[in-house]
Structure 1
Amino acid sequence: MSRTQPPREVPLDFPREWIEFLDPADEQHLIRADLTWLLSRWTCVFGSACHGILPGRAEDGCCSHGAFFTDTDDENRVRAAAAKLTPQTWQHHRRGFKNYTEVDSVDGTTPARRTATRSADGPCVFLNEADFAGGGGCALHAQALRDGVHPLKYKPDVCWQLPVRREQDWITRPDGTKLLQSTLSEFDRRGWGPGGHELAWWCTSSPEAHVGTEPMYVTYAPELAELVGEAAYEKLAALCAARVKTGLVAVHPATTLAAAPKRRGGREPATPRKSAG
């Protein structure tokens, strides 16, 4: 691929397969899951093949902006994790929750707190540069690995959930029964709102990020279990495994392109590594 050409991405709309089932642990919890996404070979390529969401800033990955917190529990988890960081492990070390967060707005009107950025146009304050002696990538992610826990225990919700999108709604069936419906799908460009179409690159649609050795439902097991519960995830994993055996009809096109033989003059897909982003 020529450096003057933008990275390849597949169109946003293509056939998908879905599964729907009741949570074995809660008969009022309905799970809907996008099998095309969960059986894809997407994997995080931060630090290797990632082009970043802003042009010329591949090293930022998807950390070019601060992460909005979902609730007080999210804020408190990050606050506790940040207290473990030192100037040796966090390049842009700051003390005090209000010194590494700021108030902004998701919708332009409602105040919301997020992680601060290093400058007006800089990336998230928790992002260490690649050549930092304490290690590049997300300082919270790296601290979790040092402590022997999964990064979702330390990072903001939106950071560990990406690129899985969970939507929850109470629905009423024709017989009047009410269920909490959790929908698991791909967090594609549209997940960011109108601004998502302006991102320089987004990984879920790119064959360069569909180079995992296992399907997503396996590599993202901890995150999926956190989103829907252990029992629901075990059921989901069993259904995914059964679908693999019968053959998925609507395969993710980016996974298909990534698996296609390399054309003369092209390049091999980058080898993914464990992300610190």
Structure 2
Amino acid sequence: MAGSVQEDPPEEVPLDFTREWVEFTDPAEPAHLVRADLTWLTSAWTCVYGRGCAGVETGRPDDGCCSHGAFLTDDDDVRRVGAAVAELTPADWQRHGTAPWVELEEAEDPDDDSDDGAGEPRTRRADGACVFLNGPDHPGGAGCALHALALRTGRHPLETKPDVCWQLPVRREQEWVDRPDDTRVLRTTVGEFDRRGWGPGGHELHWWCTGAPAAHVSPEPLYDTYAAELTALLGPAAYAELRRLAGSRLDQGLVAPHPASPPARGGAVPVELLRRRPG
């Protein structure tokens, strides 16, 4: 139940531990190299908003991770979210009709030109949280209005929510790599968006779920439950290869387990990870 966890957040495991990585070439694009954190992607993590989430701000568990609003990645992100906003009804959105829904981030120090994020578009904040966050008193239910819209219209939330919102807590980084033989590949790294992913401020969050056993309660591994998101981040062929490799490694017991997931904690959480095998 949202609001049930406030001052004493669930425990988290330390940030540093052994991880298992796999690197492979995208079957659909030889110049695309994928590097994936199997320890994270085979974990039992799942979103526990409304059922044990303590929130990132003390005393605001109903916010989940929506307290600070969401940065929009580019013009396409702004247009896509804007189109979704136009579809929202009062039943979807507690603050229906609020305008504008997007604002430019202000620099903490106006004289510091290096302030990261200054001038970038983000969702507005209202009453201390993202403008799209419905409170527990909303007749349509608490949580993200854009997420509710997707569910109501039979779409995946990645089609209506800001990029950062549907990607979390998976972190994708991309860089061009020049090899010694003068060839170049695009290397995509996917892994856990832990506290460090937020920069120095990540250590100040009241709670962050990726390292919390209370959020590692899915009976299926993350690479299965996040199939749509990982496909969008990597492409269909690369995701299929990731899924094949992850399943094979799990079958052989070759993955360093996430310390927050049940098998590594002696069954502290009554969940046994399974993976879907072709019939």
Aligned equivalents of 2:242, 2:255: Cα separation in 1: 18
Over residues 125-153 of structure 1, what are the superposed CA-to-partner deviations in whole Å (9 max), with x where a residue is unaligned?
00001231022110000100111010000
Are positions 1:113 and 2:121 aligned together?
A: yes
The amino acid of 1:108's aligned partner reads D
Among 212, 217, 224, the alignment partner of 1:218 is 224
* TM value normalised by structure 2: 0.88
* TM value normalised by structure 1: 0.89
Could you tell me how far 1:94 is from its partner in structure 2? Answer: 2.5
Aligned equivalents of 2:78, 2:133: Cα separation in 1: 17
4+ runs deviating over 6 angstroms: none
In structure 2, list runs of 5 or more residues that go unmatched. 108-113, 272-279
Q: Conserved in 1, the CA contact under 8 Å of 2:262 and 2:270?
A: no
Could you tell me how far 1:93 is from its partner in structure 2? Answer: 1.4
Among 149, 166, 191, the alignment partner of 1:185 is 191
Could you tell me how far 1:239 is from its partner in structure 2? Answer: 0.5
Q: Conserved in 1, the CA contact under 8 Å of 2:6 and 2:59?
A: no
In structure 1, list runs of 5 or more residues that go unmatched. 263-267, 271-277
The amino acid of 1:187's aligned partner reads F
The amino acid of 1:9's aligned partner reads E
Q: Which residue of 1 aligns with 2:105?
A: 104
The amino acid of 1:94's aligned partner reads G
Could you tell me how far 1:260 is from its partner in structure 2? Answer: 3.1
Structure with the bigger RCO (C-alpha within 8 Å, sep 6+) is 1
The alpha-carbon distance between structure 1 residues 108 and 257, as it changes in their structure 2 partners (threshold 3 A), is farther
Are positions 1:199 and 2:202 aligned together?
A: no
Residue 176 of structure 2 aligns to a residue whose secondary structure is strand
Q: Which moved more, 1:129-138 or 1:70-79?
A: 129-138
Residue 134 of structure 1 aligns to a residue whose secondary structure is coil
Q: Conserved in 1, the CA contact under 8 Å of 2:259 and 2:265?
A: no
Among 65, 78, 83, the alignment partner of 1:80 is 83
Aligned equivalents of 1:269, 1:46: Cα separation in 2: 19
The amino acid of 1:81's aligned partner reads A
Q: Conserved in 1, the CA contact under 8 Å of 2:257 and 2:263?
A: no
Q: Which residue of 2 aligns with 1:260?
A: 266
Percentage identity across aligned positions? 58
Among 71, 74, 81, the alignment partner of 1:71 is 74
